[in-house]
Structure 1
Amino acid sequence: MKRKHNQITDQRFIDTFLGKSRIGRLATIGSDGYPYITPVNYVYLDGLIYFHCARAGEKLDNIRRESRVCFQVDQPLAYLDLAFADNHEKPCAVTQFYHCVIIRGQAKVVENIEEKVKALNALVSSHQDDQQHFEEITEQTPPVRHCEIVAVRVESMTAKSELAQKKSPEERARIATYLKQRNLAGDAETAVLLYSEDE
């Protein structure tokens, strides 16, 4: 990774981030040689990425022809606008704060019915809150036969965040104060993260 100061090496953070996120972007290799990117609902389970899809389609055709894939998950945080810089003549002063994970791996359609059912239950459960209950999916549940589950086995993984790591503690505190006062969606969370960089 070029910008080492942005790199995340804490595997627990990465696992938690992947576990709480719901949508990722899958890149497969198309028959024409071009990358083909699609957003998918996924679940991170036992170190693998699982997602469901229709039993036919370009994404699945690509995977069956070439199993190498890339999978990306991001979380946009606050956006630092020009009002903070107080200088509208310097557009490069704007900054998007974020977390991001990029995975390279091998994708394969899950043939084992027990693994398929386990992944489907985990996928549904990940989209419910603790107070919501659902009827457990079994091998006899009709939709099990009408969809595919794909597992992505991770071969390499990189993660990074943009949280003004190159700024001084004083500058990060100034940004955090601005974000708390601005109070747009994501500002409060980002302010806390900026302070935590100094701990």
Structure 2
Amino acid sequence: MFRKMRRLGQMLSQEECEEILTNEPRGVLALLGDYDYPYALPMSHVYVDGKIYFHGAMTGHKNDAVKKYDKASYCVMDEGVRNPDDDWSYIFRSVIVFGRIRTLSDDDEKVEKLTNLGDKFFPTHEETVSEIEKLLHRTEVFELTIEHMSGKRVEEK
């Protein structure tokens, strides 16, 4: 169903893809937006148990798009390194995920996933807990279940 990568020599392993999803903080989420235009937005994420989680407000374009159509794509790139062979190009790795996105409705599940997110970004677990207590009532949590994932090493030339 999903296309195979053309340049198989640049393909990353499953483990490399998961390492990027685990360690990199942000990516771009692509949804089907208003009037069937693509809607791509930068998101912070956490990768837990083979799924990707995001948080956001309870209303807005993203929420409407998720309710309308549950297919999504998410792209994450690492920071890259300067190519040692020249002064301008970079070598970087990227992962593209295709899957189904949904909004979590169970508060216990939301707290668990928000804790995973917060612990990735806040300096202390106590700060994570404090933020969740303040904002849970107005925070949505989105779960992206991965159906296909591919990663690639790119060397600009």
Q: TM-score range by the shorter chain?
A: 0.7 to 0.9
Does the 8 A contact of 2:119 with 2:128 survive in 1?
no
Deviation (angstroms), 1:52: 0.4
Deviation (angstroms), 1:16: 1.8
Extract unaligned runs of 5+ from structure 2: none
Question: Which position in structure 2 is the counterpart of 1:146?
Answer: 138
Does the 8 A contact of 1:76 with 1:97 survive in 2?
no
Which of 47, 50, 61 is equivalent to 1:47?
A: 50
Which of 100, 122, 128 is equivalent to 1:106?
A: 100
Question: Which position in structure 2 is the counterpart of 1:115?
Answer: 109
Q: Provide the identity percentage.
A: 26
CA distance in 1, matches of 2:18, 2:86: 33
1:68 maps to amino acid: K
1:7 maps to amino acid: M
Deviation (angstroms), 1:65: 0.3
TM-score computed with the length of structure 2 as normaliser:
0.86
Question: Which position in structure 1 is the counterpart of 2:12?
Answer: 8
CA distance in 2, matches of 1:142, 1:76: 32
Higher relative contact order (CA 8 A, sep 6+): 2
Deviation (angstroms), 1:136: 5.5
2:10 maps to amino acid: N
Deviations 1:59-115 (A, max 9, x none): 11001000100000001313449x838xxxxxxxx6431110000001100011111
Say if 1:33 and 1:136 are closer, same or farther in 2 by CA, change over 3 A: closer
Question: Which position in structure 1 is the counterpart of 2:72?
Answer: 69
2:50 maps to amino acid: G
Does the 8 A contact of 2:118 with 2:128 survive in 1?
no
2:148 maps to amino acid: S
Secondary structure in 2 matching 1:76 = coil
Say if 1:53 and 1:163 are closer, same or farther in 2 by CA, change over 3 A: same
CA distance in 2, matches of 1:147, 1:128: 17
Q: Does 2:96 match 1:96? A: no
Runs of 4+ in 1 over 4 A off after TM superposition: none
Does the 8 A contact of 2:51 with 2:145 survive in 1?
yes
Say if 1:2 and 1:117 are closer, same or farther in 2 by CA, change over 3 A: same
Deviation (angstroms), 1:13: 2.1
CA distance in 2, matches of 1:108, 1:76: 28
More strand by share: 2
Q: Does 2:152 match 1:160? A: yes
Alignment of 1:174-193 (within 5 A): none
Q: Does 2:26 match 1:23? A: yes
TM-score computed with the length of structure 1 as normaliser:
0.69
